[in-house]
Amino acid sequence: MQVEQLLERARALEPIQFSELMDVIEQYYEFTPTAFRNGELSNSEDQNQGSCKLLAFALQHQLSVEQTLNLFGDYYHQEVLGDPQGSAHGNIRAFMRSGWEGVSFAAEPLRLRA
């Protein structure tokens, strides 16, 4: 899948699996592990880098909170929404609470491949 195809699906809130997004990022972007903040959560450069990639991708492409949450696929739709009082997937839950206002990166994690 190409970046534009994934973005069309994301903007239309079509089902997307987390692995599909990771495949697109792997194919089209250079990733640098980066510390990031997501609401009340601080993630080091060796923690939760899948969430780092996803949030950086969504931010670069100006996706809404709802569109961004959809990129988490079943982690969001089944595991988080299916267990609203749970504690699994802290970065998804933190993003649900704080949205884009709570997200910051220590450095730019994604760069489009030349």
Cα separation, 50 vs 48, in Å, equals: 5
Cα separation, 4 vs 12, in Å, equals: 12
Cα separation, 10 vs 18, in Å, equals: 11
pLDDT along the chain (114 residues), means of 10: 96 97 98 98 97 98 98 96 94 98 98 93
**DSSP letters spanning 75-100:** IIIIIITT-TT--SSHHHHHHHHHGG
pTM for this prediction: 0.96
Give me the domains of the chain, ranges plus CATH numbers. Answer: 3-112 (3.20.160.10)
- Could you tell me the two tokens for 71? 């990129």
Task: Count other Cβ atoms within 10 Å, centred on residue 62.
Answer: 10
Q: Can you give the pLDDT at residue 114?
A: 85
